[in-house]
Amino acid sequence: MTITVKDVAKKAGVATSTVSRVINDHPSISDATKKKVFKVMEEMGYVPNIAARNLGKRSSGAVGVILPPLDSRERMGNPFYLEIIESINAEARKHDMTTAIATAQSFDTLLENVQLMHRQKQVDGFILLYSDKDDPVIDYLVENHVPFSLIGQPYTNEEKVIYVDNDNQLLGKHATDFLIENGHKNILFITNTTHENIYYERYFGYQKAMMVAGLTMFPSVDMESPEAYVAFEDLLKETKATAAVVIDDIFAMRMIQLAQMYGYRVPDDFSVISFNNSIYSTLVHPYLTSIDIDIAELGKMGMQKLIDTLQQKEPTGVRLVIPHQLIKRETVLDLNGI
């Protein structure tokens, strides 16, 4: 038998409207009454209708999590998104909220999905898990004054966007410095994306470290085309590279396989350092030296900043920087003294 608000009100000896106000935590209800009603609800096994409660508040009780276009196998299989979504979900549950995922294979379709979620009031706000220079979604959110937070650094509207990020330029410098400290001089920066902000920031960090050390800076190695894979062996010979900073763990694993295919042993002939410290870093030997960006904290703080925005506690243009940590494993050879 379904327990109703009327049943709870009758047993508690209060009006039905009082039970509704207790459920919605209305300030006009005393703590003693709230305690009594909640006790009756627990005894009777009554569970409030969250959808109805949110309707009364003119709130969906949900947030939209926007993934970048899943237009490659690396992106579809990247554990970063699963880890950060779980962190966002955990924080959302603390606020009695749920999450809805927005994803697509192109920016046009992704924008349509986000517009639909917004117009149908399926969510109260959004968390973007990427920052891309060609992204129309963030422009739509800013122009329509939709509450959102960003995991990453925006290309534009920095003064209007609340974002949570690592210091990716410092990450790039830290990774490169580590290779330099281990005696490497000919160091490459390898990427499979050239339009996301993490690429620019991490590559700038690489350039800064190389410049400060007085070493030759190489153009970033763009591996977005099949031809780049064919030319990789010649590139290693021409540059005499002994090490590389790679844009993220999952792509670093592919580059290790490619180097090994051309006869380069990792780390004996070619050292590799990457970012994220994901599950891929310890799947196979050699274990990957990687910089831990604290994905759980990124998701948690991204959700908290969105909650603050929804509750009008957060001013616009706020940046929160999450610390990082270098995890030493097996893919960087110390050349000092060799």
* pLDDT value for 111: 96
* pLDDT value for 44: 87
- CATH architecture assigned to 62-166+295-324: 3-Layer(aba) Sandwich (3.40)
| 168-292 carries CATH number 3.40.50.2300 | yes
* pLDDT value for 77: 82
* pLDDT value for 57: 53
| 5-57 carries CATH number 1.10.260.40 | yes
**62-166+295-324 and 5-57 share a CATH fold:** no
Q: What is the 3-state secondary structure (H, E, C) of the chain?
A: CCCCHHHHHHHHCCCHHHHHHHHCCCCCCCHHHHHHHHHHHHHHCCCCCHHHHHHHHCCCCEEEEECCCCCCHHHHCCHHHHHHHHHHHHHHHHCCCEEEEECCCCHHHHHHHHHHHHHCCCCCEEEECCCECCCCHHHHHHHCCCCEEEECCCCCCCCCCEEEECCHHHHHHHHHHHHHHCCCCCEEEEECCCCEHHHHHHHHHHHHHHHHCCCCCCCCEECCCHHHHHHHHHHHHHHCCCEEEECCHHHHHHHHHHHHHCCCCCCCCCEEEEECCCHHHHCCCCCCEEEECCHHHHHHHHHHHHHHHHCCCCCCCCEEECCCEEECCCCCCCCCCC
* pLDDT value for 67: 96
Ordered per-residue pLDDT tens for the chain, 338 residues:
678 888 889 999 999 888 888 877 778 888 889 899 989 988 888 876 655 555 455 567 899 999 999 887 777 888 999 999 999 999 999 988 999 999 999 999 999 999 999 998 899 999 999 999 889 999 999 999 999 999 999 988 888 899 999 999 999 999 999 999 999 999 999 999 998 999 999 999 999 999 999 999 999 999 999 999 999 999 999 999 999 999 999 999 999 999 999 999 999 999 999 999 999 999 999 999 999 999 999 999 999 999 999 988 766 677 899 999 999 999 999 999 77
* pLDDT value for 314: 66
Q: Among residues of the chain, what percentage have pLDDT more than 70?
A: 95
* pLDDT value for 104: 94
* pLDDT value for 58: 58
Enumerate the domain spans of the chain.
5-57, 62-166+295-324, 168-292
